[in-house]
Structure 1
């Protein structure tokens, strides 16, 4: 079973998701330049909401929300130091030896920070579990840490190519089955909702990968856009009155656009990821629905405050298949009232697909708009409020 969420959201002056030169991201679609917000940006905005309001607003316990970090070693070392009373330097060395023993490398370019080689998406208890593993196997890991420190000292003294190659070979170890089981326990995400939703990929430790239950499209503007820029100046408040001129001059890029957003949730994959826990699956589904309605990227919000909610919403529950409705805007909307015209285009395209492909796979449809009339859908499928929409979707998943 799959839930689809289609949203139309108009942002005023904004730069929610910028590229490498600071401009709002764009994409060419239907032969025209469109505003774009990447799927990564939208998923991060969703994860931040889980972390910020998970328990209070979305019904999730903090232990059910994950963390994406390269600093698992330092977090575990802090626990060994603060809670277990281990000396700081030893705790850091043993925590590093522990993560290496589990089969994970460290970023050799930033050795002083003891960062893992890549970001790890883990549950909130991972650092404590790693610290527990290090404490239980302290003597062996301490010996490994001392041997590595000694080898590093020899390398520094000789600075030879052979030692460089030896260090690379030492950077990762292949753990035995018992240690793999320990790593699996530390990285277990069976009760971590955002890992279950958005997945986890560890390139050289595929046993710990999690297939995402949710797919998120890049949001694109329903119309053509042209990025603009704001020229600004700043004046020193204590500047003498007999002096003039700005003390800072610069530009900030922005655009203004109405975006089509699409995401779906595969409930069968979610159930697999959360090990069939029906209560957690239900809360995760409700949280996903609400958080994707609420999620807004944080880019340049302090200076632009583009905090506008979606105005037209369509939710679909289906037994199989999926329809991204972006092609409703293959020809860019060019009417003055972008939201009304975009709403008409989205619902119209959905209706045409429904007529052509049939609706045998559709369990429920719920549509609403703050701004425009919902044309082309049966009256029974139009809801009055966001809460009505969420309730109807959740009821359909249990039918």
Structure 2
């Protein structure tokens, strides 16, 4: 039976520019025939990863790093070895595994690797140090890169198993040169969209020169920045069985990942233009639903845009619309075994439709317990 853990959030942001397009304007999209504010899924995924690290929700050993500086990171881990020699050997071993390093010392594209994988790679190179040295002495530099690591290439590929990195398991990865170590994501994240129609606004700003002379009365700098304010619907879904498989059937780590993800998703706020707007606004509503049939994105609750009212907030209206639409959809496509947890500051989610939680920590612990109940111990 399928096991999908869904996250539905209603979150109102003060004036901000959290996620910009190529012109510097806040991203948007047409939905239901109306212009909506938008924050991309990739933007929120990064915010989740940063939140996980900032709040130390997952031990460093079970986190990943996205970088082109793999060579530099491995050389740092080989600190007891001569730097230049270590750099040459690291490059040789990586080339033998199919990961090319450019002249600037960086890989050709961003790699997403677990801390465990980095440690294992450094240990492998250290253990086979003399073997690589022998090949380098016998061959030209060009041939050495291919030959020095020929015997180690297969071992490198075996080590690249995700390293039980929670963020790699959640969001997956694709290594173009090593398709065998690609990992399908256990988590899908939708683009966040506003529940209502949004118009862009413009902030015209000036800056005064603190050291200006008396006759310099004008601004030292003039500019403008676009922004908006919106109540967003955010959606993410975890395939619990896939997450368990990606974490090498480590059930306890999987449950810890679920709890950490619940907190990180709620605390995740994109960093775009925050020095200018400081839009640090937590969600008004978080719903965690365990689906046993199929996941259901509830964005169509807002296909008809919520309209502003003088007597009620957009957030409250959005939560009520979400509850109504979820009830309608669940009656047709849901399962009698579906379970719901909610953290509702709006007071609009119907009583009796879920297990209400008083705090984010309580919600995270209840979500972990829900996942534990759904994933029997023998599957770990």
TM-score between the two structures when normalised by the length of structure 2: 0.89
Shift of 1:226: 1.2
Question: Given the alignment, which residue of 348, 366, 387 partners 2:324?
Answer: 348
List alignment gaps of at least 5 residues for structure 1: 151-169
Q: Are the structure 2 counterparts of residues 358 and 212 from structure 1 closer, same or farther at C-alpha, using a change threshold of 3 Å?
A: closer
Task: Give 1:12-23 correspondences, 5 Å limit.
Answer: 12-23=14-25
Query: Is 1:193 equivalent to 2:166 in the alignment?
Result: yes
Shift of 1:386: 2.8
- Tell me the residue number matched to 1:158: none
Asked if structure 2 preserves the Cα contact closer than 8 Å seen for 1:94 and 1:145, the reply is no
Provide the C-alpha distance between the structure 2 equivalents of 1:291 and 1:145, rounded to a whole number of angstroms. Answer: 50
Q: Are the structure 2 counterparts of residues 312 and 245 from structure 1 closer, same or farther at C-alpha, using a change threshold of 3 Å?
A: same
Provide the C-alpha distance between the structure 2 equivalents of 1:141 and 1:229, rounded to a whole number of angstroms. Answer: 62
Provide the C-alpha distance between the structure 2 equivalents of 1:388 and 1:133, rounded to a whole number of angstroms. Answer: 42
Task: Give 1:258-337 correspondences, 5 Å limit.
Answer: 258-336=231-309, 337=313
Shift of 1:128: 4.0
Provide the C-alpha distance between the structure 2 equivalents of 1:182 and 1:214, rounded to a whole number of angstroms. Answer: 27
* Number of aligned residues: 365
Provide the C-alpha distance between the structure 1 equivalents of 2:214 and 2:135, rounded to a whole number of angstroms. Answer: 66
Asked if structure 2 preserves the Cα contact closer than 8 Å seen for 1:121 and 1:200, the reply is yes
Q: Secondary structure at the match of 1:229?
A: strand
Query: Is 1:179 equivalent to 2:190 in the alignment?
Result: no
Deviations 1:265-304 (A, max 9, x none): 1110011011111211111111111111111111111111
List alignment gaps of at least 5 residues for structure 2: 374-380
Task: Give 1:121-132 correspondences, 5 Å limit.
Answer: 121-132=112-123
Provide the C-alpha distance between the structure 2 equivalents of 1:204 and 1:119, rounded to a whole number of angstroms. Answer: 12
Task: Give 1:57-206 correspondences, 5 Å limit.
Answer: 58=57, 60-80=58-78, 82-84=79-81, 86=82, 88-107=83-102, 111=103, 113-135=104-126, 136=128, 137-140=131-134, 142-143=136-137, 146-148=140-142, 179-185=153-159, 187-206=160-179
Asked if structure 1 preserves the Cα contact closer than 8 Å seen for 2:116 and 2:165, the reply is no
Asked if structure 1 preserves the Cα contact closer than 8 Å seen for 2:66 and 2:111, the reply is yes
Q: Secondary structure at the match of 2:55?
A: helix
Provide the C-alpha distance between the structure 1 equivalents of 2:219 and 2:134, rounded to a whole number of angstroms. Answer: 62
Query: Is 1:239 equivalent to 2:230 in the alignment?
Result: no
CA-atom RMSD in angstroms: 2.4
Shift of 1:369: 1.8
Provide the C-alpha distance between the structure 2 equivalents of 1:306 and 1:145, rounded to a whole number of angstroms. Answer: 58
Provide the C-alpha distance between the structure 1 equivalents of 2:357 and 2:75, rounded to a whole number of angstroms. Answer: 52
